Amino acid sequence: MSDHIYFSGDPEHDSARRHLERVLSDKEPKRWPFLAALFAGGTVFTLWRVRQNRRDKNNGEQPPKPGRP
């Protein structure tokens, strides 16, 4: 007997068909805004730290870290 025969009302096939219909009809969530915000935040933070380090080096000594004597 063939495995590709579809019997009307077969719960196994109906369940799989309904599941595929739900999966294909759902809208895919947009992930790019979150990733773009994460990338932009990382870029801004990196540039800010680079500028801060350059200023400290140009002013001579690096200031002591807060909380350390």
**Does a structural domain hold residue 45?**
yes
pTM: 0.44
Give the structural domain span for 43. 30-61
**Does a structural domain hold residue 53?**
yes
Q: What is the pLDDT of residue 56?
A: 84
Q: What is the pLDDT of residue 68?
A: 56
Tokens in use for 66? 């807060």
Tokens in use for 59? 């002013």
Q: What is the pLDDT of residues 8-59, one digit of tens each?
A: 666 666 777 788 888 888 777 777 889 999 999 999 999 999 999 888 888 8
**Does a structural domain hold residue 34?**
yes
Tally of domains within the chain: 1
CA atoms within 13 A on the CB side of 38: 5
Q: What is the pLDDT of residue 60?
A: 73
